[in-house]
């Protein structure tokens, strides 16, 4: 008999993907009750065209990024995401790990960061409340 769709699979375990339950978000200190994290890093890229030809060139600009995170409200809202003076964030990182020593994942750190927005959310049909933060940063280190 053969596999129904004709796949030929390697039956050995090659590793494990990083899992959210083994990950850790740190903004100053470890963020407990974290529910989501989204890190985006980008650079402005401008296409330049040459008159009289079909040539196109790219000019890469400065890079910047955003980190959006939310957590369940614990003792008092917004204290976990409070920055230093003027909303500055000295240290922030996301450590994604696999379990059972299979590896996978890695650590991402951000520098040059400042809090851009904070929020608290309560919804009638949800018993829990969440708080959120948006952080703008200038450098992503992997």
User: Which tens digit of pLDDT belongs to each residue from 57-112?
Assistant: 999 999 999 999 999 987 666 677 776 678 888 878 998 876 665 555 678 899 99
Its pTM surpasses 0.95: no
Q: Which residue has the tokens 């401008």?
A: 46
pLDDT digits (tens, 9 = 90+) for 51-63: 999 999 999 999 9
CA dist 80 and 29 (Å) reads: 8
Number of structural domains found in the chain: 1
pLDDT band (50, 70, 90) for residue 44: very high
Cβ–Cβ < 8 Å for 137, 42: no
Q: What is the mean pLDDT of the chain?
A: 84
Check which CATH number belongs to the domain holding 23 and give it.
2.30.110.20
CA dist 135 and 113 (Å) reads: 6
Q: Which domain holds residue 71?
A: 19-141
Bridge partners of 133?
A: 69, 118
């Amino acid at each position: 008999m053969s596999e129904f769709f004709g796949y030929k699979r390697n039956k050995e375990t090659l590793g494990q993907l990083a899992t959210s339950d083994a990950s850790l978000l740190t903004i100053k200190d470890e963020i407990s009750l974290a529910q989501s994290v989204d890190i985006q890093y980008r650079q402005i890229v401008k296409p330049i065209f040459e008159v009289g030809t079909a040539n196109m060139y790219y000019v890469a600009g400065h890079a910047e990024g955003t980190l959006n995170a939310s957590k369940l409200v614990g003792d008092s809202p917004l204290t976990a995401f409070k920055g230093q003076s003027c909303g500055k964030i000295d240290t922030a990182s996301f450590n994604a790990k696999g379990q059972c020593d299979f590896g996978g994942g890695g650590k991402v750190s951000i520098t040059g960061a400042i809090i851009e927005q904070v929020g608290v959310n309560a919804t009638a049909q949800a018993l829990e409340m969440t708080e959120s933060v948006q952080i703008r940063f200038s450098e992503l280190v992997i």
